[in-house]
Amino acid sequence: MFIIFNKEIKNYFDSLYGFVMVVIFFLINSLIVWFFPSTNVFQYGFGSLDVFFEIVPYIFMFIVPALTMKSISEEKNLGTFEILLSQPISLQNIVFGKLLSSWFISFLLVFFTFPYWISIYNLSNPIGNIDSLIIINSYLGLILLVGSMNSIGIFFSSLSQNQILSFILSAFFCYFLYEGIDMINYYDSINYSDSFINHFSFSHHYLNFTRGILQLNSLIFFLIIIVLFFTMTLFNLKREIK
């Protein structure tokens, strides 16, 4: 597993591709959080990173599929996936190594936004007048959310040799689980099922974290999504190998 993990991390940063993803992520976030007149944190009048945690899931809907689309699709396209299978590494370790590496890259992107927190902490009046517990909770929710997106991205990467198709499918599915399910609730004719449908929405569980609510069911939900799509990836690859 760690061999695959190290190989994937090396591949990300040995090419310009990984650095481009990092630059795009921080450029978009910085413009929205600090510069755009309608969204920057100075408009709030109090120490908060609400705008960051509100917008960053939408950025990850494109960043994560871009990170994961090559994971298995490219291996299949180049014919190197068969070589991996011939090595003394189990299929589970191959998939888990790829999932862990893309999740780790996503985690690094999240980790390097901590200066936002430090800046808000020092800019607040008086200094430190922010709810750090909510921010910690929000970061935890974000890490679990991007973990789920990575697991989905790896699954769709396993379905096709076409990386663009993998990107489109995973981006669409992440958007549907985050935003699409909530849109269903706008129809009055099915309002009776709101509480049930919401339990399958990424945004419902993620927003619990951003409100400072650490609910066990939201934690379990994201872990189930990660395990579910990991298992589906294994099932799909085993089916293809046979």
pTM above 0.85, yes or no: yes
Positions of the chain with pLDDT lower than 50, given as ranges: 188, 192-193
In the block, tokens 């996503």 appear at 106
Number of domains in the chain: 1
What own/partner pairs with CB < 8 Å and gap ≥ 24 does 160-165 have? 160/73, 161/73, 161/76, 161/77, 162/73, 163/69, 163/70, 163/73, 163/74, 163/77, 164/69
The answer to whether the CB of 170 falls within 8 A of the CB of 157 is yes
| Region label for 212, one of left (φ > 0), alpha (ψ between -120 and 50) or beta (otherwise) | left
- The whole-number pLDDT of residue 197 equals 73
* DSSP state, residue 199: T
Write the burial class of residue 98 (CB in 10 Å: 0-12 exposed, 13-18 middle, 19+ buried).
buried
Locate 219 and state its tokens.
């934690």
How many angstroms separate the CA atoms of 148 and 56, rounded?
A: 15
Query: Domain span at residue 146?
Result: 2-241
- The whole-number pLDDT of residue 180 equals 80
- The whole-number pLDDT of residue 22 equals 86
- The whole-number pLDDT of residue 204 equals 87
The answer to whether the CB of 111 falls within 8 A of the CB of 194 is no
